[in-house]
Homo-oligomer: A and B are copies of this chain.
């Protein structure tokens, strides 16, 4: 397994692979890999000749008050996991090599980014789109896998690939959960034992929404209020957002009448967790 540390090295390597006709798969990550990432690698591995995993905690997608410095990192463990997963090359660049001090070109998505995490984290998706475009240009993948855990991000990346005509197939990676239902996240390690139990309420609230809709409830306000009540009765939790939006356009809906994305972001103490589900009626 090769470890490539500079953008120039990565791009040169990728160009050589392309010239030899190899199919390149990319799994972009911020490192601190868990079983969720490994499932994305497995998906990519099955569809490519050369599997590249990027490990890069991308500063521009973090707000000034967010957890950039505290974001967990463990290169040695990530390296070992990549080796086990049959990764061919790890791209592990430094932020100073990825962004010039006078960087001034950014990619903006103007419609899908407005709500959900975009409303709570201004500038977040500008940072995400820009780094993903950079990774596409450096790794030259034929396909790239993004997890359904980050539902809004996934749809924005698909939109970017369409609107900018990137020659990349976006593959959706299904959510991976702990046995008790908690969505896998690098941030889970910050939860205390108590908080780890409280965090199950995200999944429970999503299940409850599914049950209500299954029983015929169509009014979004009713479903949403029931979810909020369920979450906020637990001390130390605070709803950041709970939104039911059209699964394609991410526009808010009043009634559940076609595929609806239910997305939740909840603070368990200081730790912000997200989860989501798609309800089909």
Contacts and interface: CB of A to CB of B under 8 A. Distances in A.
A7 interface: yes
A140 interface: yes
Interface centre among A106, A138, A159, A165 (most CB of B within 10 A): A165
A137 B105 contact: no
Interface string A77-114: 00000000000000000000001101111111111100
Given A19-B21, A137-B164, A165-B138, A102 B107 contact: no
A279 to B, nearest CB: 23
Given A21-B19, A107-B107, A100 B138 contact: no
Interface residues of A, number: 36
Interface in A2-22: 7, 11, 14-15, 18-19, 21
Interface of A: 7, 11, 14-15, 18-19, 21, 99-100, 102-112, 129-130, 133-134, 137-138, 140, 159-160, 162-167, 249
Contacts of A162: 100, 105
